[in-house]
A and B are shown apart, each in its own frame.
Chain A
Amino acid sequence: GQNIDQPTEMTATEGAIVQINCTYQTSGFNGLFWYQQHAGEAPTFLSYNVLDGLEEKGRFSSFLSRSKGYSYLLLKELQMKDSASYLCAVELRSNYQLIWGAGTKLIIKP
């Protein structure tokens, strides 16, 4: 089967850096997505990783290691508006479906 694990909640300080981890167990996947979801709103796309390594996009970076079944989202220069849930999702190779983690609620404190 497939399983995705993320920490339930994290707290960080405005201006700091935070790393949100995602571990997964799947039988085969194409790539891994990260989405951001503000409370009461729909998820919005952040990143997609296919190859191992780090992909940087402004203040946000995403890392993937296929051999370790591990990904992380790195947020730099944290702003209060970054307070949200961050969802990790794996795209299955068999049918292109996304299997979603439960999300990590990130709380930013001044």
Chain B
Amino acid sequence: GAGVSQSPSNKVTEKGKDVELRCDPISGHTALYWYRQSLGQGLEFLIYFQGNSAPDKSGLPSDRFSAERTGGSVSTLTIQRTQQEDSAVYLCASSSQGQGAYEQYFGPGTRLTVT
């Protein structure tokens, strides 16, 4: 079946512009995660959606970052007034449950470059 997909695969934007990154999770997966990975670094948790519960936004680095998940499926991560330090690969993952040893399936990521 189809895996997690993300778009765009690459995004180059000017400092100060807003960007939207999209994630399509695996059908039926209730949990969805956004991570950020800088070059040579581990994954930095950003936000987590589980079913109809309020999202866990504890990882968002500033109020310029926001995310929503419509209809329990597709998610959009929005970064307003982008800064150069926002340059990274943004990874989305989904899992069949949000807790208890459930494997996370990752999308290919969006490489964001802020110039």
Interface size on B, residues (CB 8 A): 22
A-B contact count (CB 8 A): 47
Interface string of B44-77 (1 = CB under 8 A from A): 1100100000001000000000000000000000
In contact, B108 and A43 (Cβ under 8 angstroms)? no
Question: Does A67 sit within 8 A of B, measured CB to CB?
Answer: no
Interface string of B19-48 (1 = CB under 8 A from A): 000000000000000010000111111001
Chain B residues with CB under 8 Å of A99's CB are 45
In contact, B41 and A102 (Cβ under 8 angstroms)? yes
How far apart sit A41 and B89, CA to CA, in the bound complex (Å)? 10
Give the size range of A's interface with the partner: 20 to 34
| Interface SS majority for chain B | loop
Residue in B41, B104, B107, B108 with the greatest tally of chain A CB atoms within 10 Å? B104
In contact, A48 and B103 (Cβ under 8 angstroms)? yes
In contact, A87 and B42 (Cβ under 8 angstroms)? yes
In contact, B101 and A50 (Cβ under 8 angstroms)? yes
Q: Given A98-B45, A102-B42, check contact A43 B106 (CB 8 Å).
A: yes
8 A-B pairs, CB-CB below 8 angstroms?
A43-B91, A48-B101, A87-B42, A95-B56, A96-B98, A98-B43, A99-B45, A100-B44
Interface residues of chain B, those whose CB is within 8 Å of chain A, are: 4, 35, 40-45, 48, 56, 91, 98-101, 103-109
Interface residues of chain A, those whose CB is within 8 Å of chain B, are: 4, 30-31, 41-45, 48, 50, 87, 89, 91, 95-103
